[in-house]
Amino acid sequence: MSSTSSAIEVHGLLKSYPNHVAVAGIDLEVKSGEIFALLGPNGAGKTTTVEILEGYRSRDGGSISVLGVDPANTDLRAWRDRIGIVLQSTKDAADLTVEEAISHFAGYYSNPKDVDQVITAVGLSEKRKAKGEQLSGGQRRRLDVALGILGNPELLFLDEPTTGFDPEARRAFWDLIRQLKNDGTTILMTTHYLDEAEALADRLAVMTNGKILEVSTPALLGGRARAKARVSWSENGKSNLELTDSPTQFVNQLSSRIDGEIQDLSVTRPNLEDIYLEMIGEKV
């Protein structure tokens, strides 16, 4: 095991393409054993950042350490043996069965997981004889995850892992990710789903235009804990909204003013999605 407490350290990472700056000098730290989510709109630079960390792309500046190694100049074989990658969308190996694909790729690693255990863990036991092309979107994604975790990685990259999942499959997938974390795997994920980040991530970063706006926890992002509560209700056929720091007191006052039930009463805090959309500059 590596002795450092961070699985990933990034300082001043820079990447430009001919017409735009994809990553504009970011700093990032992912601690060993945590689930870290990278959020941001399309084109924010998430995938570029992750692909540089995965050793797929070169960088123009800055320093990187992934499991104590710079992916740009090292014996990548030994390093790749320690990481797992689940790419965005894949359609390869369509003519192989789940079982064939997993047992083939197991032969690439020094210390692979047991093929049957992996198939069970990702919930594909009933589909083990099905070919890649016969799987649903969610099942296909679970095959990708199976191939990503097969080598017993210390660090797992998940790029938008649950796109196209139905709610049930997403819950099952979250359980799998939590299980991996419990087994000590560090996970860096990108996602479009704020509920997913909230359910899984220990910490998260919001990225736009190649920069990181904030690194925080789901509970504290964007001053969420300090945000005012929204109290809404209807009175005389008219709907009302009040933003307040003391919703209990406010509802008490309402209750004493209005006879019986307060119509359409709701008290909400901004959810992660509201905060996020506000941060990246979109109207809620």
CB of 123 to other proteins, least distance (A): 21
Site for other proteins in 185-204 (CB under 8 A): none
CB of 251 to other proteins, least distance (A): 53
> Which of the ranges 30-38, 75-83, 174-182, 246-254 carries the binding residues for other proteins, by CB under 8 A?
75-83
Place of tokens 């720091």: 245
Interaction between residue 108 and other proteins (CB under 8 A):
yes
Interaction between residue 78 and other proteins (CB under 8 A):
yes
> Which of the ranges 108-116, 173-181, 183-191, 194-202 carries the binding residues for other proteins, by CB under 8 A?
108-116
Interaction between residue 104 and other proteins (CB under 8 A):
yes
Interaction between residue 50 and other proteins (CB under 8 A):
no
Binding test (CB under 8 A) with other proteins, winner from 90, 136, 208, 244? 90
Instruction: Tell me whether residue 26 or residue 87 sits nearer to other proteins (CB atom).
Output: 87
Interaction between residue 71 and other proteins (CB under 8 A):
no
Interaction between residue 151 and other proteins (CB under 8 A):
yes
Q: Which chain residues interact with other proteins by CB under 8 A?
A: 1, 54-56, 76-78, 80-82, 85, 87, 89-96, 100, 104-105, 107-111, 147, 151-152, 154
